Structure 1
């Protein structure tokens, strides 16, 4: 038995459930799965708005509308997919969640390429194509990503290992963000200068993403859940009961609220930084360097999460991250200095703090699965995770549409020298919006979140005792 398992056993109440430890290969594979997801998702989140405004020639407000309405569609798709996953009962040897990764990877890669295709239509036709292609991408992404995220709750119930899995996932997400931020713009200079030349770069990222998702599928395993035979016989729980269970899951609802704040802040920052480097700093070449150093600090933050979570708890780690994030962004705004170096240094501080915040969301969401099961008697991994991602898609809708609206309001003109008003609008998006939302998140989480490690261990013990009392036939989870 490892030192970690001895420590965990000593910390748990007598009779608490013991879960098998995960292998390093499994954690690595799970993290690489989000590298694959990120290669395709980050291209759209960071560069697609600029592609719409500067390449397709869509008006900024119309381009922002594409993000707003397609992300609302994605949010509904997430919850539908989560419900579908939870109500599946003909579960084969591949498991409950893994088949979605296997069969959805290639279609997701094709949809990524389609969203960056220049159709050559009329302005109205081009706008319709932007809506169709990005909605298609969002639907397929939901089908792949909802089961992938739900896997944490099915892989382990060990809270330390869940924090580690969440950190591996965030590390994978940040690695994808680093590579797309640093490499995408330089690679564009290497491809043919034809109208569709950028598709070569997008296609390369999409192919790499598909291969990484397939590697993830082949190396992760579902451990938590009832025996397969019981799953095949059990009828699906009523849909209305599942919805009511979500409404009674207080930690999940609070998690969705703060995620709406921080994920919106983070994604607005990602979109704004492309415009900020080109039009405020007047050097788009800074973007890869900023991405390299700031993402390096993100990896440092991700590496700190397991230790901080184990010794200080997830709640304290999360609040600390919010404070550091807000400090970095607000310093960048209120103490501007000439040159790119101070901007990069304060940005590194902000991204380090954001890593502490974003790394823990998946662990909190998995904890909410057990809380919901304890509270209502229903184990709804898919619905919990999809409701959580519903809030993320709402924040993406805000993050995608808000920059377009602000750019139109301040008089942004593509590929031109901007007015002082436009530059200040971009600066507000880059620093003030994320900095203030990080502060608000700190206050909300510190004051209202109550599901700490001690209470979580008590819930696990209560669930084990409930299962032992009722037997497999009485366990509807």
Structure 2
């Protein structure tokens, strides 16, 4: 393995563009769809998110094991992009359908479609994510791949955040609008998944092959011995709780605190562009401060921006946009650098345990991402319930507005600070990683 062609990197990035056309619909709009379109309570939605993540605690490791055991002419990872992307798109469309059922039927339908979507997202996303480790073993190339992945992810976020609200509004009813827009995004996602499959083919086929014969009962012993993987996963779990809580609550803040839902595409657009700018700078930052240093510096910027944002009056649009962008610029490092660290922890785990276990490692990290989205949904739903939120009421109480504001500032800041404390324990720098690779080569020779 070595340096990658630009076409391979772009092809890899297209996979995250595809995934985020679907994933961001759930992060940004699903809770709002449940409460204001489907008509179920915020607490019922929060319970659905929790049940789905409890199931993922079983489903994700099994998927990782399945991937590591897969043998296919398309490789153990890419085959899932080929055959899993269409079912995933169909499940996403079903999730944003509002059936005319009694309340109990609506809750059951929402729970069933959301759990199914989570399983299919796992089926595609874990193999896709594992391509980082199999495409190259050069640390800077992995950082570049993660940055390119995040850039394409943010393109997906821009499309979803900027286009969804105007497109939904163009339909006769919100329920028809969300269903139709999701269908459009699902078709686009299928196209980009297949492009990713095609453009990563040659590089992936040249990656190192290794026997991954281990049993289901060995999964947790393997993971518990990989201290560095656990550190990155824990830090990213808590850090991404902050990221996803902010994304989930943005639609409520703009609609009710600022009092103008039409500003949502502009607010989200500015936020995402700031994260895009951050991802263009992260490869340079990691060369100067390494991965851990970049993670900590970015997080500190995110905390500072969020603290200032908390005290901005709701009618000061320019300041809201400015410090919303600044805080998002900083916390972009949490996702990007976290993904860049995971491949390095796989080699660390291989050295410690003798098993490479790419699928299981990415399954655990992927589960942490989905758990973060669930915690975000539950947190925002709980705050809305506690603060007396009433769906589709133009003017909310002061208590509700303060609760919504806290989900953009106070709560995320607490999680970011905790994440910074955990990531300080991460011990793989450039020198350490080079030593790990050298020892692995000695073992294989």
TM category (shorter chain) comes to over 0.9
Can you list the C-alpha shifts for 1:39-98, whole angstroms capped at 9, x where unaligned? 01111111111111111111111112112211222343211100111133xx23211100
- The answer to whether structure 1 residue 236 and structure 2 residue 216 are counterparts is no
Can you list the C-alpha shifts for 1:151-210, whole angstroms capped at 9, x where unaligned? 111100000000000111111111111111111001112234385243211110111011
- Which residue pairs with 1:202 in the alignment? 182
- Which residue pairs with 1:69 in the alignment? 51
Structure 1 contact 71–396 (Cα < 8 Å) conserved: no
How much does 1:421 deviate? 0.5
Structure 1 contact 313–452 (Cα < 8 Å) conserved: yes
Measure the CA separation in 1 of the matches of 2:383 and 2:441: 52
Structure 2 contact 258–314 (Cα < 8 Å) conserved: no
How much does 1:435 deviate? 1.7
- 1:296-445 equivalent positions in 2, closer than 5 A: 296-336=273-313, 338-416=315-393, 417-445=395-423
How much does 1:322 deviate? 0.5
Specify whether residues 194 and 158 from structure 1 end up closer, same or farther in structure 2 by C-alpha distance, changes over 3 A only: closer
Structure 1 contact 269–430 (Cα < 8 Å) conserved: yes
Specify whether residues 194 and 320 from structure 1 end up closer, same or farther in structure 2 by C-alpha distance, changes over 3 A only: closer
1:196 alignment partner, SS class: helix
Residue 102 of structure 1, aligned match among 64, 77, 82:
82
Measure the CA separation in 2 of the matches of 1:350 and 1:309: 19
Q: Which runs of 5+ in 2 are unaligned?
A: none
Structure 1 contact 242–378 (Cα < 8 Å) conserved: no
Measure the CA separation in 1 of the matches of 2:105 and 2:219: 40
TM-score normalised over the length of structure 1: 0.90
- The answer to whether structure 1 residue 143 and structure 2 residue 126 are counterparts is no
- Which residue pairs with 1:185 in the alignment? 165
Q: How many residues align?
A: 441
Measure the CA separation in 2 of the matches of 1:279 and 1:101: 40
- 1:280-295 equivalent positions in 2, closer than 5 A: 280-295=257-272
1:312 alignment partner, SS class: helix
- The answer to whether structure 1 residue 245 and structure 2 residue 222 are counterparts is yes
RMSD: 1.4
How much does 1:377 deviate? 0.5
1:288 alignment partner, SS class: helix
- The answer to whether structure 1 residue 28 and structure 2 residue 5 are counterparts is no
Rg larger in structure: 1
Moved more, 239-248 or 315-324: 239-248
Can you list the C-alpha shifts for 1:106-147, whole angstroms capped at 9, x where unaligned? 101100000011111110001000000011111000000000
Specify whether residues 353 and 72 from structure 1 end up closer, same or farther in structure 2 by C-alpha distance, changes over 3 A only: same
- Which residue pairs with 1:169 in the alignment? 149
- Which residue pairs with 1:115 in the alignment? 95
- The answer to whether structure 1 residue 154 and structure 2 residue 128 are counterparts is no
Measure the CA separation in 1 of the matches of 2:148 and 2:313: 34
- Which residue pairs with 1:472 in the alignment? none
Specify whether residues 465 and 200 from structure 1 end up closer, same or farther in structure 2 by C-alpha distance, changes over 3 A only: same
Q: Which runs of 5+ in 1 are unaligned?
A: 1-18, 469-477
Measure the CA separation in 2 of the matches of 1:420 and 1:116: 31
How much does 1:300 deviate? 0.7
1:285 alignment partner, SS class: helix
Measure the CA separation in 2 of the matches of 1:29 and 1:145: 15
Residue 218 of structure 1, aligned match among 198, 211, 229:
198
